Amino acid sequence: MSSAIEFLDLAPIRSARGRMRLPGSKSVSIRALLLAALSEGETRLTGLLDSDDTRVMREALKACGVPLEDLGEAGWRVRGAARLPRREADIFVGNSGLSIRTLVAVLAFMDGRYRLSGIPRMHERPIGDLVDALRPLGARIGYQQKEGFPPLLIEPARARAAQPVRVRGDASSQFLTGILQSAPLLAQERELVVEVEGELISRPYIDLSIALMRRFGVEVQRGTTAAGTPRFTVAAGSRYRAPGAFAVEGDASSASYFLALGALAGGPVRVQGMGSASLQGDVRFAEVMSAMGAEVSQGEDWTEVRSPGLASGFRPKAIDADFNHIPDAAMTVAVVALFADGPSLLRNIGSWRVKETDRIAAMAAELAKLGAAVEAGPDWLRVTPPAALRTAAIDTYDDHRIAMSFSLAACGGIPVRINDPGCVAKTFPDYFARLAALTTSG
């Protein structure tokens, strides 16, 4: 939830350098919590992100009777079982898309009654493609307000019908992640086959789901349908097994703000906890910084960016690229584009429209306040840098990534006001303190 602070004034950032340890990955934390809860045995999770979104998943699992124990510095202990202990719960999902979409697919087959609701924006974020994919399997999921959107009421599933499961993947990859993660519930007597209809967006998040399921003992085989879209198979009798201990890697999307900081304010800025061995797709943001002219170095679990810095005349190279594979880190690119040597075009980012806010509209409005000329289409954004940046009060639309990415505008020698800075708590509660620790202003 957003804190009560109305705004935060950031002084112009003159330089930035140093190292920071990243908070745990949101995408890995939320998956690991759910998979540990569904695993036979005990898992000790370390490095788990502590933020609004991960709290949503923790509280949801507790509401379903899963024993979760806070071990302080030593992490969290989760005692799992193939079936969730409690068969009735009222679950608040805040605005965590990943949590609701992965919970629904699991709860639909728990033989219980569950209600899931969130903040008003969550009730505008689509979930119909997931519900449509689960209903032919016997799932009974009802819409409590508007068809196709939360809040939802789940009731015990009826006998299962034919496979393969067909799911659309063009609004969010999280629907497919939800179905894949619930595979052990569905692949009991027969193998589970899932086919994607139409385009599949945000694909690296599916790779992440498959990699984490493997860590918890379930293999997903990949193939292709006759129509050329992805098909996934999970063997009959597959079961999650607790890996004993599981360490969550640093958040690659959160890393993007600091890597961009190194590029704009000179650096070197090094993030620790995310590097070439990372499972997250957003690790590829480093390639974008390199393409825009910054110097990037990387080890297995760290990444560092430096440049001469804007203050010494460095100009990032303008970029024209497809950002479908890194939708979250692409927001950081849009702000770096403010300083580029020409117009940049971010293509294939249509999913921005249905996230924490309509991110295409929000980015366009806020970049324009700083003086950029911005054009936007259904799934693209073109940013032409201003001759001189104007100071502005940035509205953040209860979207953590708007707040974090626009903090980088202060690298342009102007003060920037961030309204409702507390919205960063969704994934990075102490973001502004961590930023201040690496920067010199003036």
Query: What is the contact mask toward ligand PEP in residues 308 to 347, using x (rule: CB under 6 A)?
Result: --------------------x-------------------
Q: CB 96 → ligand S3P: shortest distance, Å?
A: 9
Which stretch, 167-175, 265-273, 360-368, 376-384, contacts ligand S3P (CB under 6 A)?
167-175
Does 351 engage in binding with ligand S3P (CB under 6 A)? yes
Which stretch, 113-121, 166-174, 271-279, 303-311, contacts ligand S3P (CB under 6 A)?
166-174
Q: Is 328 marked active-site?
A: yes
Q: Which residue from 23, 47, 75, 97 is in contact with ligand PEP, where contact means CB under 6 A? A: 97
User: Cα–Cα distance between 153 and 337 in angstroms, integer?
Assistant: 43
Does 94 engage in binding with ligand S3P (CB under 6 A)? no
* Locus of tokens 């971010």: 346
Count residues contacting ligand PEP (CB under 6 A)?
9
Nearest Cα to 101, choosing from 363, 380, 354? 354
Does 327 engage in binding with ligand S3P (CB under 6 A)? yes
249 binds, among ligand PEP, ligand S3P, none (CB under 5 to 8 A by kind): none
177 binds, among ligand S3P, ligand PEP, none (CB under 5 to 8 A by kind): ligand S3P
Interactions with ligand S3P, residue window 394-423 (CB under 6 A): none
List C-alpha distances in Å: 155 to 72, 100, 179, 246, 353.
36, 16, 17, 32, 30
Does 177 engage in binding with ligand S3P (CB under 6 A)? yes
401 binds, among ligand S3P, ligand PEP, none (CB under 5 to 8 A by kind): ligand PEP
Q: Which residue from 44, 58, 382, 401 is in contact with ligand PEP, where contact means CB under 6 A? A: 401
Does 58 engage in binding with ligand PEP (CB under 6 A)? no
Which stretch, 14-22, 65-73, 200-208, 296-304, contacts ligand S3P (CB under 6 A)?
200-208
Given 53, 251, 328, 398, which residue is catalytic?
Answer: 328
State the DSSP code for 440. E
User: Cα–Cα distance between 277 and 297 in angstroms, integer?
Assistant: 13
Binding-site residue positions for phosphoenolpyruvate: 26, 97, 125, 174, 359, 401, 426
User: Cα–Cα distance between 391 and 360 in angstroms, integer?
Assistant: 21
Does 202 engage in binding with ligand S3P (CB under 6 A)? yes
Does 27 engage in binding with ligand S3P (CB under 6 A)? yes
Does 439 engage in binding with ligand S3P (CB under 6 A)? no
Nearest Cα to 192, choosing from 204, 202, 184, 200? 184
Q: CB 260 → ligand S3P: shortest distance, Å?
A: 18
Binding-site residue positions: 26-27, 31, 97, 125, 172-174, 202, 328, 355, 359, 401, 426
**201 versus 363: smaller Cβ distance to ligand S3P:** 201
Does 181 engage in binding with ligand PEP (CB under 6 A)? no
Does 95 engage in binding with ligand S3P (CB under 6 A)? no
Query: What six digits make up the tokens of 126?
Result: 């689509």
Angle at 248 between CA 245 and CA 252, to 5 degrees: 165
User: Cα–Cα distance between 382 and 221 in angstroms, integer?
Assistant: 38
Q: 203-239 burial by CB neighbour count: b if 16+ within 10 A, else e?
A: bbbbebbbebbebbbbebeeeeeeeeebbbbbeeebe
Does 108 engage in binding with ligand PEP (CB under 6 A)? no
Interacting residues of 388 by C-beta distance below 8 A, sequence separation 6+: 371
Query: What six digits make up the tokens of 395?
Result: 């509205």
Count residues contacting ligand S3P (CB under 6 A)?
12
Beta strand extents in 102-206 (DSSP E only): 113-117, 140-143, 152-155, 165-169, 192-200
User: Cα–Cα distance between 203 and 387 in angstroms, integer?
Assistant: 37
Within 10 A of 6 (CB to CB), how many other CB atoms are there? 10
**45 versus 310: smaller Cβ distance to ligand S3P:** 45
201 binds, among ligand PEP, ligand S3P, none (CB under 5 to 8 A by kind): ligand S3P
User: Cα–Cα distance between 391 and 370 in angstroms, integer?
Assistant: 6
Interacting residues of 226 by C-beta distance below 8 A, sequence separation 6+: none
User: Cα–Cα distance between 24 and 341 in angstroms, integer?
Assistant: 34
Residue 259 contacts residue 305 (beta carbons within 8 Å): yes
Binding interface with ligand S3P (CB under 6 A) = 27, 98, 172-174, 177, 201-202, 205, 327-328, 351
Tell me the catalytic residues: 328
Binding interface with ligand PEP (CB under 6 A) = 95-98, 328, 355-356, 401, 427
